[in-house]
């Protein structure tokens, strides 16, 4: 249940080749996150899997069966939309029951499943309200409830948290992760927020211009990015990139070092002047002008009390330097 | 603007606006008043008219003598009939143009609107002859057909704009929930589109009720709606102001009332979106 | 959204509307064109012969043609002038803060919903009639001779009637446009030092220009087909003083029973309307893009 295989999947809109060709394996029960900048094709890919768009080539297999030409309803998948897409004229109960009604389930069985889903999601007291009377987080849960009752092979989430405020986002993120642990169903989750990706995923698929840049576990992507794009995309603040003679000294075209792997030391090998400093209490972020090395972002301990104009010396931590060739590929 | 406007300014403007408004509305007011007078009183000078006695006699005479009710029903049947048929044809058309737009959709819509711009006289002759040869002259069915055709572009257009306002994702959600096309339209689209459909129905009934070209050309007595009925009063047959007023009031009252509720729809439907 | 399944369904669902409108466009119009090349009179059926462009020639050379053309122009331009200028002023007035704005709006909008035959007859009898009409009574009260509007100034009278009916339309459209003016832009201009007159000239007028253009184009399309008002008041007379192209075609077709000639006239009317329509469609097209 919930094993999805994409073979050479392509998608073009007229002359625009949004997805030139993708091969991907998603295992049963995995929490897979599609992440990438706007326009990279992650939502398109999700919609191709859902069946809301036709592929221009390639095949999509769900649990071993070819689903490429199946309409969305017959693929056994459930989707949670960015805007929740609740039926405004139906009560919460009717919203959640709708897919069951479409499947021809009898009323008693419908009620049972709806009540069960409502209990899991803490919606039992809202069942008779209409979506317009609910808050953002509640609507989100109704959308999830509607997906759960179908007992699908996989859940598809299309940037479900972007319309929520920051605090609610954190809460819902955790709720979705807990849901995954409870239901153990495959979940495919699309987001542009790499923090969501890193915290929720079993496996992350980094997409860029319709092409998969790298697939791996969160820590895998963090520790061993395969190319410049992934290195710069994963991790916040962004990895520092150094080109020129310093990179040549390390036998590569581009040198990469994450802000959290730069230490402020008395005898650091690199020196510079502090430009901007941000004191968050827990951390201190410094933008250091390091001459030929460019501007380096440094994440230091919250106690570090450096300010604009201060001279600093930095050293990269042992074994944390990333080297990339002139095509942007990582050198091991 | 949440700033205070001087009361003097407000008063002057209010006075000016009300004066102009009443002046513009006056003819209608006058019809209503005259309808409640006797024929003899109706032709006196305005002051005498106002102070003469009020009576229902003109209304009675109109309803008894000239079979007014039949013409009223004709108007109702023709307006409602053509509107309902137009809706049945237009809802699927507007659905597909709004939710599955192709490259040609915009051109198609524009072409449909352009058919409304053809002057009626351009096809007066063939329509008259066709109607005559098929026995459709002075028939309600024939008139319903013509009115459906001339209003179809506007109905499609209005429904299109209302459908476009429905978030596409909700229909996709229905699709993912297993709804086939019929279920999608029945359980999701139509309930959400009902306000839009009602508005379109309203505007179209108004336009059909007041249509004064084909109703005059293609009917004489049996199927004549109110437009034709009132027009038949145009030959001077002596004193008849009060009856004309009573008949007119009854003819325009329903639409005046409906019209007050349909101002927004009017702008949407008749400016073809060129004004928001 | 757009999968193969929905696309075929979509095509099926548009077809009834498209087919009907296509037939409506082609069949009657085609017949008109065909008739316009025949010598065909309903009083002598079965004797149709090919007439080439004769009908067109005779229609244009009909002594009523040029008067009809100029009357049509005067009618359209006259009504446009009254409704556009009046509508703009009214819209500006109604946009101001006042008491009872809702009711004033209703009063001003009402004439549009009165059916043309009613409004024409009411004006003809209750107001313009030289013996019993209101204007006559008013004139007599002032010691003046009552003026027979429809006999001595038929076209102007009809312009008045039609303008009364269409003024609400223009006002409503222009008021809607006015109310969609970006208030923040106005505030910004005020902070930039622009006084009320400058704000009117540089912000309001350009914004309204678009709406005014739409009003003019749409009204022109409908005004070219004005019919009921003429039929019910003057029947095109006296003589041809209030005959428009539309009325002329009607008279030729159904009063003189000259199907051939009437058809030619109809085609000419179509050509006239098309010229206006082209401009209107361009405006609408621009808006559909957004």
Domain annotation for chain C: domains and CATH numbers: 65-242 (1.10.3720.10)
C-alpha distance from A122 to closest chain C C-alpha (Å): 32
C121-126 mean pLDDT: 84
Q: Note the pLDDT tens digit of each residue in C52-85.
A: 788 888 888 888 888 888 899 899 999 999 999 9
Q: Which of A52, A67, A85, A158 to mutate to test the interface with C (most CBs of C within 10 A)?
A: A52
Query: Is A73 within 8 Å of B167 when comparing Cβ atoms?
Result: no
Phi, psi of A27 (to 5 degrees): -90, 160
Residue B235: pLDDT band (50, 70, 90) is low
Closest partner residue to B192 (CB to CB) among A51, A88, A146 is: A88
A203: which residues sit within 8 A by CB, 6+ positions away? A26, A30, A31, A32, A33, A215, A216, A217
Q: How far apart are CA A191 and CA A296, in angstroms?
A: 28
C-alpha distance from C8 to closest chain A C-alpha (Å): 13
Better pLDDT: C233 or A30:
A30
Beta-ladder partners of A277:
A286
Closest partner residue to C214 (CB to CB) among B31, B241, B275 is: B275
Residue C42 has pLDDT above 80, yes or no: no
Q: Note the pLDDT tens digit of each residue in C154-165.
A: 888 899 999 999
Q: Write the burial class of residue B222 (CB in 10 Å: 0-12 exposed, 13-18 middle, 19+ buried).
A: exposed
Chains that touch A (3 or more CB pairs under 8 A): B, C
Three-state DSSP state, C142: coil
Q: CA angle at residue A222 from A220 to A227, to 5 degrees?
A: 90
Query: Is C97 within 8 Å of B5 when comparing Cβ atoms?
Result: yes
Low-confidence residues of chain A: pLDDT under 50: none
Q: How far apart are CA B248 and CA B116, in angstroms?
A: 28
Furthest-apart CA pair in chain B: how many Å? 73
User: Does residue C4 sit at the A interface (CB-CB below 8 Å)?
Assistant: yes
Tell me the chain B residues in contact with residue C106 when contact means C-beta distances shorter than 8 Å. 260
Q: How far apart are CA A255 and CA A330, in angstroms?
A: 10
C-alpha distance from C184 to closest chain B C-alpha (Å): 9
Query: Is B106 within 8 Å of C285 when comparing Cβ atoms?
Result: yes
Query: Is C173 within 8 Å of B126 when comparing Cβ atoms?
Result: no
C109-133 mean pLDDT: 84
C74: which residues sit within 8 A by CB, 6+ positions away? C155, C159
Beta-ladder partners of A154:
A77, A186
Confidence (pLDDT) at B273 = 62
List C residues 138-157 in contact with B (Cβ-Cβ < 8 A): 138, 140-141
Contact C197, C140 (CB under 8 A): no
Query: Is B169 within 8 Å of A85 when comparing Cβ atoms?
Result: yes
C-alpha distance from B56 to closest chain C C-alpha (Å): 19
User: Does residue A54 sit at the C interface (CB-CB below 8 Å)?
Assistant: yes
End-to-end, the C-alpha distance of chain C in Å comes to: 20
C-alpha distance from B169 to closest chain A C-alpha (Å): 6
User: Does residue C183 sit at the A interface (CB-CB below 8 Å)?
Assistant: no
Contact C59, C252 (CB under 8 A): yes
User: Which helix (H) or strand (E) segment is B246 a member of?
Assistant: helix B241-261
Tell me the chain A residues in contact with residue C1 when contact means C-beta distances shorter than 8 Å. 52-53
Contact C163, C79 (CB under 8 A): yes
* Domain at B66-232, CATH from 1.10.3720.10, 1.10.8.590, 3.90.245.10, 3.40.50.2300: 1.10.3720.10
Confidence (pLDDT) at C288 = 57
B177: which residues sit within 8 A by CB, 6+ positions away? A73, A98, A99, A102, A146, A150
Confidence (pLDDT) at A154 = 94
C260-276 mean pLDDT: 85
C-alpha distance from B126 to closest chain C C-alpha (Å): 6
For residue B168, which of C215, A85, A332, A187 has the smallest C-alpha distance? A85
User: Does residue C1 sit at the A interface (CB-CB below 8 Å)?
Assistant: yes
Beta strands in A70-143 (DSSP E): 77-80
Query: Is B120 within 8 Å of C225 when comparing Cβ atoms?
Result: yes
Q: Strands A203-208, A31-35: parallel, antiparallel or unpaired by DSSP?
A: parallel
Most confident listed range (B73-77, B121-125, B244-248)? B73-77
For residue B47, which of B56, B37, B57, B55 has the smallest C-alpha distance? B37
Q: Note the pLDDT tens digit of each residue in B129-179.
A: 889 889 888 888 999 999 999 999 989 988 998 888 888 889 889 988 888
Three-state DSSP state, A7: strand
Query: Is C108 within 8 Å of B20 when comparing Cβ atoms?
Result: yes
Residue C282 has pLDDT above 80, yes or no: no
User: Which helix (H) or strand (E) segment is A186 a member of?
Assistant: strand A186-191
Residue B33 has pLDDT above 90, yes or no: no
List C residues 179-208 in contact with B (Cβ-Cβ < 8 A): 180, 183, 186
User: Does residue C2 sit at the A interface (CB-CB below 8 Å)?
Assistant: yes
Q: Note the pLDDT tens digit of each residue in A251-305.
A: 899 999 999 999 888 888 888 999 999 999 899 999 999 888 889 999 988 888 8
Residue B228 has pLDDT above 70, yes or no: yes
Confidence (pLDDT) at C3 = 61
Contact B153, B116 (CB under 8 A): yes
For the entire predicted model, the pTM comes to: 0.75
Tell me the chain B residues in contact with residue A82 when contact means C-beta distances shorter than 8 Å. 169
Confidence (pLDDT) at B37 = 80
Tell me the chain C residues in contact with residue A54 when contact means C-beta distances shorter than 8 Å. 2-4
Query: Is B102 within 8 Å of C10 when comparing Cβ atoms?
Result: yes
Query: Is A53 within 8 Å of C1 when comparing Cβ atoms?
Result: yes
Confidence (pLDDT) at C1 = 43
In Å, what is the CA distance from B119 to each residue of C25, C167, C261, C269? 11, 22, 17, 7
Q: Write the burial class of residue A88 (CB in 10 Å: 0-12 exposed, 13-18 middle, 19+ buried).
A: middle
Contact B105, B97 (CB under 8 A): yes
Residue B239 has pLDDT above 50, yes or no: no
Please state, as a whole number, how many other Cβ atoms lie within 10 Å of the Cβ of residue A299. 18
Confidence (pLDDT) at A247 = 86
Q: How far apart are CA A314 and CA A260, in angstroms?
A: 12
C211-239 b/e with 16+ CB inside 10 Å = b? bbbbbbbbbbbbbbbbbbbbbbbbebeee
What is the residue-wise DSSP string for C206-243? Answer: HHHHHHHHHHHHHHHHHHTT--HHHHHHTTT-STTTT-
Q: How far apart are CA A25 and CA A40, in angstroms?
A: 19
End-to-end, the C-alpha distance of chain B in Å comes to: 21
Helices B190-210 and B263-270 sit at what angle, rounded to 10 degrees? 80
Confidence (pLDDT) at C44 = 75
Q: CA angle at residue C261 from C257 to C263, to 5 degrees?
A: 95
B155-169 b/e with 16+ CB inside 10 Å = b? bbbbbbbbbbebebb
Q: How far apart are CA A162 and CA C31, in angstroms?
A: 60
Contact B39, B243 (CB under 8 A): yes
Residue C287: pLDDT band (50, 70, 90) is low
Confidence (pLDDT) at C290 = 45
Residue B234 has pLDDT above 80, yes or no: no
Contact C279, C217 (CB under 8 A): yes
Query: Is A53 within 8 Å of C5 when comparing Cβ atoms?
Result: no
Residue B119 has pLDDT above 90, yes or no: no
Task: List the single residue in B with minimal CA-CA distance to C100.
Answer: B14
Residue C51 has pLDDT above 80, yes or no: no
Beta-ladder partners of A206:
A35, A214
Q: How far apart are CA B51 and CA B36, in angstroms?
A: 12
User: Does residue B100 sit at the A interface (CB-CB below 8 Å)?
Assistant: no
Q: Write the burial class of residue C172 (CB in 10 Å: 0-12 exposed, 13-18 middle, 19+ buried).
A: buried
């Amino acid at each position: 249940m919930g094993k999805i295989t994409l073979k050479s999947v392509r998608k073009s809109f007229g002359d625009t080749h949004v997805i030139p060709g993708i091969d991907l394996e998603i295992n049963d029960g995995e929490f897979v996150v599609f992440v990438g900048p706007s326009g990279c094709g992650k939502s398109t890919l999700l919609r191709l899997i859902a069946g809301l768009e036709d592929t221009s080539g390639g095949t999509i297999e769900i649990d071993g069966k070819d689903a490429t030409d199946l309409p969305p309803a017959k693929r056994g998948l459930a989707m949670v939309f960015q805007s929740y897409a609740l039926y405004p004229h139906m009560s919460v109960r009717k919203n959640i029951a709708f897919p069951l009604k479409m499947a021809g389930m009898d009323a008693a069985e419908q009620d049972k499943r709806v009540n069960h889903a409502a209990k899991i999601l803490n919606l039992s007291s809202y069942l008779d309200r209409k979506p317009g009377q609910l808050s953002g987080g509640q609507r989100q849960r109704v959308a999830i409830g509607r997906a759960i009752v179908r007992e699908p092979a996989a859940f598809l989430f299309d940037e479900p948290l972007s319309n929520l405020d920051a605090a609610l986002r954190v809460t819902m993120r955790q709720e979705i992760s807990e849901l995954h642990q409870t239901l153990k169903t495959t979940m495919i989750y699309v987001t542009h927020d790499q923090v969501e990706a890193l915290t929720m995923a079993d496996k992350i698929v980094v997409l860029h211009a319709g092409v998969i840049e790298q697939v791996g576990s969160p820590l895998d992507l963090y520790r061993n990015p395969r190319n410049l794009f992934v290195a710069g995309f994963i991790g916040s603040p962004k990895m520092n990139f150094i080109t020129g003679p310093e990179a040549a000294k390390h036998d590569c075209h581009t040198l990469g070092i994450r802000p959290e792997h730069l230490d402020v030391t008395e005898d650091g090998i690199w020196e510079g002047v502090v430009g901007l400093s941000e004191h968050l209490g827990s951390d201190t972020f410094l933008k250091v002008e390091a001459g030929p090395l460019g501007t380096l972002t440094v994440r230091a301990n919250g106690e570090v009390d450096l300010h604009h104009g201060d001279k600093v010396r930095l050293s990269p931590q042992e074994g944390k330097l990333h080297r990339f060739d002139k095509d942007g590929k990582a050198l091991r | 603007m949440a700033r205070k406007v001087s009361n003097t300014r407000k008063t002057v403007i209010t006075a000016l606006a009300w004066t102009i408004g009443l002046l513009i509305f006056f003819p209608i007011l006058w019809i209503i008043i005259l309808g409640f007078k006797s024929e003899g009183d109706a032709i006196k000078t305005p002051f005498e008219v106002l102070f003469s006695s009020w009576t229902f006699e003109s209304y009675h005479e109109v309803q008894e003598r000239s079979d007014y009710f039949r013409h009223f029903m004709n108007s109702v049947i023709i307006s409602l009939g053509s509107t309902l048929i137009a809706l049945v044809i237009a809802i699927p058309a507007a659905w597909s143009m709004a939710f599955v737009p192709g490259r040609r959709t915009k051109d198609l819509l524009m072409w449909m609107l352009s058919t409304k711009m053809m002057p009626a006289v351009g096809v007066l002759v063939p329509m008259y002859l066709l109607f005559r040869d098929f026995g459709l002259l002075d028939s309600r069915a024939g008139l319903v057909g013509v009115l459906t055709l001339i209003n179809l572009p506007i109905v499609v257009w209005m429904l299109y704009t209302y459908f476009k306002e429905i978030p596409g994702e909700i229909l996709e959600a229905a699709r993912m929930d297993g709804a086939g096309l019929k279920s999608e339209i029945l359980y999701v689209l139509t309930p959400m589109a009902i306000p839009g459909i009602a508005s379109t129905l309203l505007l179209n009934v108004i336009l059909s009720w007041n249509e004064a070209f084909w109703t005059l050309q293609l009917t004489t007595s049996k199927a004549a709606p109110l437009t034709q009925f009132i027009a038949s009063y145009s030959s001077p047959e002596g004193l008849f102001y009060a009856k004309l007023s009573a008949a007119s009031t009854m003819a325009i009252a329903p639409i005046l009332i409906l019209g007050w509720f349909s101002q927004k729809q009017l702008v949407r439907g008749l400016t073809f979106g060129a004004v928001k | 959204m757009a999968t193969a399944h929905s696309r075929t369904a979509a095509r099926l669902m548009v077809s009834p509307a498209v087919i009907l409108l296509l037939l409506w466009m082609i069949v009657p119009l085609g017949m008109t064109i065909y008739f316009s090349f025949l010598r065909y009179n309903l009083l002598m059926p079965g004797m149709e012969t090919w007439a080439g462009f004769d009908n067109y020639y005779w229609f244009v050379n009909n002594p009523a043609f040029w008067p009809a053309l100029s009357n049509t122009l005067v009618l359209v331009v006259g009504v446009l002038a009254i409704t556009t200028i009046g509508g703009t002023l009214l819209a500006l007035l109604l946009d101001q803060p006042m008491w009872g704005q809702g009711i004033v709006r209703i009063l001003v909008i009402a004439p549009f919903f009165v059916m043309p035959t009613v409004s024409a007859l009411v004006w003809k009898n209750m107001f313009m009639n030289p013996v019993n009409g209101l204007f006559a009574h008013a004139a007599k009260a002032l010691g003046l001779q009552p003026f027979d509007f429809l006999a001595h100034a038929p076209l102007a009278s009809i312009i008045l009637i039609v303008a009364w009916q269409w003024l609400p339309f223009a006002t409503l459209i222009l008021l809607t446009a006015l109310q969609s003016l970006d208030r923040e832009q106005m505030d910004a201009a005020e902070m930039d030092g622009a006084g009320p007159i400058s704000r009117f000239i540089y912000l309001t007028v350009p914004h309204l220009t678009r709406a005014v253009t739409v009003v003019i184009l749409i009204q022109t399309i409908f005004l070219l087909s004005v019919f009921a008002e003429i039929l019910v008041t003057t029947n095109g007379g006296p003589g041809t003083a209030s005959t428009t192209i539309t009325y002329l075609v009607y008279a030729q077709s159904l009063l003189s029973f000259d199907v051939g000639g009437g058809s030619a006239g109809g085609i000419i009317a179509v050509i006239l309307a098309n010229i206006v329509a082209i401009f209107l469609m361009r405006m609408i097209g621009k808006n559909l893009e957004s």
